[in-house]
Amino acid sequence: MCGAAVLAVPSAGTEAPWTLAARVALVTAVCILAFYYNDLYDFEAPHDVAELFRRLCRALGVTALLLAGTYVVAPGIVLAGPLASHALLLILAGVLALRVVAYALAKRAPFSERVLVLGGGPLAAELIHQMQVRPDLAMRVVGICGGDGTAPDVPRLGDFDDLPDVVRRYRVDRIVVAVPDRRGQLPVAPLLAARVRGVVVEEGTQMFERFTQRLAVESLTPSALIFGEGFRVTRTRLAAKRAMSVVIAVVALVVAAPLMALIAIAIRLESPGPAVFVQERVGLHGRRFRCFKFRTMRQAPEDDGSIWERDNASRVTRLGAVLRRYRLDELPQCFNILRGDMSLVGPRPEMASNVDTFSEVIPYYSLRHEVRPGLTGWAQVRAGYSMSTEEVTRKLCYDLYYVKHLSLAFDLRICLDTVKFVLDGKRPG
């Protein structure tokens, strides 16, 4: 943000210190907001040079528009001369150069760790992929020990018995244990010896959680959930969460009341049926409740195919498509928040007819019911809608991560992400 500070420097040398500080704070905040909105702090998004350049240009364009609007409202803080335009160009060149250099060095010695993956399977393949494509991870995969050729472009360096020789020969800095079935297979003695010599030994599911901010549900064990960190839901946190939810729901209903009335009228005019759709959903501790939404689809018989087929059918109205895109169909759920059925942030409540099925086929699915469901949630801003069992499983990975790390600060972050996606008008995929 050094460019932001340059942008805020006044042309006159007699500026009061507090005025200069206010300008620096204003421009820095606007730059950070624009960078955040354009996913420049999201390292799971593509970060090749061309994409990085496009995002930087969009971010600086948003910055210029926001500052221009600010100067219209408060002309007293307008910067004289071409300082603003020059500073924006400086930010573009400086940030682009710094990121390109940092990304290049992050994958080269001596700036990166040499990582050995122990084991194979989907978890190992995903971890290797993350370390290869993420520009913010200063890690290089030297190879796989054991396993079954999970990643064709990564060499297999030997079996578990070869671990001591592999660690010494390739000067491994970190060992990632991604062994699917560890019973009688894990090379405990070589791992302990490597750990004593200073090699970091990390459990694969923990690394996956740290990289992706979701839990690896398919690879988790009950002992990892029982004895691991997290899942500390205190009464104080729940009380603060409930207070924030109620306050925001009341404000939203007051502010959006005229808009909600117009939406209800428009729905009734476009297609026959009620404006508000009521559906039975499952909430805290498995308790069922009536969830309210604006109707976005034409009515159809309840036995009209499976739930996936009904939702995929071309029954979404033109107005309904707009409401879904900007999540305006969720506004009536503010009443569910006031009734105590839901919270502002939490796992999205699932239809009661699907919960039993998902609980049977998806591990740990019932754990998402240990907190109140939410109007928005971590899975919503990271994974969007789910239209298959595989997508439901992926969303559960995010839901359990949220339950594990539940906090007021996390809720605020999810609210900011929700605003970003609503303004952008797109669903995360």
The secondary element (H helix, E strand) that includes residue 150 is: none
> Do the Cβ atoms of 375 and 248 come closer than 8 Å?
no
pLDDT at residue 11 above 50? no
Contacts of 88 (CB under 8 A, 6+ apart): 3, 7, 60, 63, 64
Residue 355 pLDDT: 92
pLDDT tens per residue across span 12-62: 445 566 766 777 777 788 888 999 988 888 887 777 888 889 999 999 998
> Do the Cβ atoms of 168 and 149 come closer than 8 Å?
no
In degrees rounded to 5, what are phi and psi of residue 389? -65, -35
Higher pLDDT: 202 or 181? It is 202
For residues 284-310, give the mean pLDDT: 76
Per-residue exposure over 200-209, b if at least 16 CB sit within 10 Å of its own CB, e if not = eeeebbbbbb
pLDDT at residue 309 above 70? no
pLDDT at residue 111 above 50? yes
Indicate the pairing of strand 276-282 with strand 288-294: antiparallel
Structure tokens given for 104: 């290049």
Residue 97 pLDDT: 93
For residues 3-20, give the mean pLDDT: 53
Residue 267 pLDDT: 95
Q: What pTM did the predictor assign?
A: 0.85
For residues 152-171, give the mean pLDDT: 92
Residue extents of the structural domains in the chain: 2-106, 113-212, 235-424
pLDDT at residue 64 above 50? yes
How confident is residue 285, by pLDDT bands cut at 50, 70 and 90?
A: very high
What value does the mean pLDDT of the chain take?
86
CA 148 to chain centre: 31
- DSSP letter string, 357-409: HHHHHSTTGGGGGGS--EEE-HHHHHH----SHHHHHHHHHHHHHHHHT--HH
For residues 58-79, give the mean pLDDT: 79
| Radius of gyration over every alpha carbon of the chain, rounded to an integer in angstroms | 26
For residues 338-347, give the mean pLDDT: 96
pLDDT at residue 425 above 90? no
Instruction: Determine what percent of the chain is predicted with pLDDT higher than 70.
Output: 88
What's the chain's length in residues?
Answer: 429
For residues 110-134, give the mean pLDDT: 91
pLDDT at residue 287 above 80? yes
Residue 397 pLDDT: 95
Angle, CA 248 vertex, CA 244 and CA 254 arms, to 5°: 150
pLDDT tens per residue across span 204-219: 999 999 999 999 988 8
Q: Any idea which residue has 């498995």 for tokens? A: 286
Residue 302 pLDDT: 54
pLDDT tens per residue across span 393-424: 999 999 999 999 999 999 999 999 999 888 87
Structure tokens given for 12: 């006159």
CATH number of 113-212: 3.40.50.20
Residue 30 pLDDT: 87
Nearest to 403 by CA among 341, 336, 348, 335: 348
Residue 78 pLDDT: 58
In degrees rounded to 5, what are phi and psi of residue 201? -110, 120
Give the least confident one: 107-121, 175-189, 268-282, 309-323.
Answer: 309-323
